[in-house]
Structure 1
């Protein structure tokens, strides 16, 4: 019982530490400030490389995906996602969804969110982004359903909840 409570209490912090639910846009790094579009900053070699050549692990690659997607470099973000060791991981599927949705391929993005939720029904970030996609499409009923799921799954007070609630209230989702 205590272990369950501890895990639930730390869940938002783990997500925050992973950079998946931060309330602010990603800070620019060498990937967007130094490297040409389509290249990533390789942490080991301290140089710009293609995603396929990079020695970065999936965690570093996902940080680059988030940064590039926020910068509107959707093709580059998708190339990195395609180079992941585990492109079927729930966070990778979530970022595939986000990147496709932001690039205007809304249904493709929604398909990836659904896949992320099949892999991990407790993926609050996928639920938030999916809900924001529903807001953008004008379907507030489905957006509200995702907000309810986030809250039922312990997501009160997280970025996932507050960003989706704000999107429902304003009609505009977060861009990161």
Structure 2
């Protein structure tokens, strides 16, 4: 239910709640036929499921749907949607590509995407947090602490990204 609520909110924001009833990219178990139940590799466009490809939706909508899928644990599906974003140098897109690879256990690939996002925007503390979490997963707490210090320099020691990475370092949990 949590996943569906997040997707409904996302879709209402990115597509416009007035245009149709909330839709869920992953389906919601409702067989009434009122909501699309997209298959992997599809996105919601105008309340219908369509194949994800470059130009099918504006980049922002593709990013938002890809991000929601990644956060919902649909990593490979998220990668498909994020690959359809035209601007592959958007640090947010690179960050969630990295996130999806990291959560799928492909740490080396994840590190490359996080580092590219940070190279484009050194102040992108969420990418630094996720990179640090990847380093924790790889047993490189020393490198995670370097990212923690970078986050502290950019947003202090009370921002969410600092607190999250500090907790991952302390607990050793990815």
Give the greater-gyration-radius structure (CA).
Answer: 2
Structure 2 partner of 1:101: 102
8 Å contact kept, 1:40–1:54: no
* Separation of aligned partners in 2, 1:120 and 1:50: 31
The within-5 A match list for 1:1-176 is: 27-29=6-8, 30-33=24-27, 34-42=37-45, 45-52=46-53, 55-173=56-174
Other structure's SS at 1:48 match = strand
- Change over 3 Å in CA distance of 1:80–1:144 after alignment to 2: same
> What is the aligned-residue RMSD (CA, Å)?
2.0
* Separation of aligned partners in 2, 1:162 and 1:59: 28
Other structure's SS at 1:32 match = coil
In the TM superposition, residue 155 of structure 1 has moved relative to its aligned partner by 4.5
In the TM superposition, residue 56 of structure 1 has moved relative to its aligned partner by 2.8
* Separation of aligned partners in 2, 1:57 and 1:150: 31
- TM-score, normalised via structure 1 length: 0.76
- TM-score, normalised via structure 2 length: 0.77
* Separation of aligned partners in 1, 2:160 and 2:88: 24
Structure 1 window deviating more from structure 2 (130-139 vs 148-157): it is: 148-157
Unaligned residue ranges in structure 1 (runs of 5+): 1-23
Deviation readout 1:53-112 (Å, 9 max, x if unpaired): 774322222221122122332221111111102111111111111111111110010011
Other structure's SS at 1:88 match = coil
8 Å contact kept, 1:130–1:146: yes
Aligned residue-pair number: 148
Structure 1 window deviating more from structure 2 (150-159 vs 124-133): it is: 150-159
Other structure's SS at 2:25 match = helix
8 Å contact kept, 2:54–2:85: no
Unaligned residue ranges in structure 2 (runs of 5+): 9-23, 28-36
